[in-house]
Amino acid sequence: MTEQPITVIATIRVRPGHEKAALAAIHDCVKASRLEKTNISYQCHRDVSDPEVFVFVERWASPDALAEHETTPHFRAMADVFKTALAEPLHVRITREI
């Protein structure tokens, strides 16, 4: 049986004054992630009523594909920025289509 793709929905809140660094890291990660062979789609949205909130919607070929993504230089670089830029812990849901 072939593993089903997964969807990741991750929400972050950026601390005031850290938007520029966070946006640069997000843009770099989105661009590079879309080139990964196991990535189906990768988007980041900014909340229109709360501009400090960003929502990632990602589709990966499998949980292993996501785990591999989390070791890439572009993901690690974004995670490093988030260590000081986030106002609260990252909230992640990993889902499968039903």
In words, the CATH class of domain 6-95 is alpha beta
Summarised one tens digit per residue, pLDDT across range 5-26 is 999 999 999 999 999 999 999 9
Mean of the pLDDT values across residues 53-77?
98
65 φ, ψ (degrees, to nearest 5):
-65, -40
Task: Read off the pTM.
Answer: 0.93
Mean of the pLDDT values across residues 28-41?
98
Predicted pLDDT of residue 3: 83
Q: Count the Cβ atoms, other than its own, within 10 Å of residue 95.
A: 10
Mean of the pLDDT values across residues 58-84?
98
The domain spans of the chain are 6-95
**Of all residues in the chain, what percent carry a pLDDT higher than 70?**
98
